[in-house]
Amino acid sequence: MLPLVLASTSPFRAALLERLSLPFEAFAPEIDETPLPGESPAAMVRRLTAAKAEAARSHYPAHLVIASDQCAVCNGKIIGKPGTHDKARAQLSGFAGKEVRFLTGLALLNTSSGNMQLDIVPFGVWFRTLTAEQIERYLHKEQPYNCAGSFKSEGLGITLFEKMAGDDPNALIGLPLIRLTTFLANEGVELP
């Protein structure tokens, strides 16, 4: 098996990949993540996912590179990481009773053969109508300021939802393990 590289500095993605019990090295891809004018959320995720994988190619010439990118979309608008308490409060307040759709791109690049498998895994989250007090309590407890959508579904963020729908709940956290398992099998990596 070719060695694995995770082209991400996300601790959430690393923790998910560790669940597969495969050794891997992390690599920080240096790419510009600015959306292009008129670019759809899906096109942006696909482009950035591929770019992150490609950024590792010259550093890892005989490896399997795993890359991922994600965006959240509500009412047709891309929702980013809030960065601050006030922006997180505004995001969560605006989600009341609405669906936030997450598009998680996944790529597996075999840098030896040049073969890249690339897909987008969607996941939907429907929010409850929350009081200002509930939002404040949640934000003070989890401080999800570096998470798209201002929540951590693997923690207390689950209490903010009315329902969730999608093929792989790991996609919501940032790395669709079900699709990754298929991609790895296509490269001869059998799990478990």
Catalytic residues: 69
Q: Centre a 10 Å sphere on the Cβ of residue 60 and count the other Cβ atoms it contains.
A: 19
As a whole number of angstroms, the distance between CA 25 and CA 45 comes to: 23
DSSP SS3 for 41: helix
Terminal Cα distance for the chain, rounded: 14
Using alpha carbons, select from 68, 94, 90 the residue that is nearest to residue 173.
Answer: 68
Q: Please name the residues in contact with 64: beta carbons below 8 A apart, sequence gap of 6 or more.
A: 1, 2, 3, 4, 5, 108, 109, 110, 111, 184, 187, 189
Tokens 């209490």 belong to: 159
DSSP SS3 for 138: helix
- Count of H helices and E strands in the chain? 6, 7
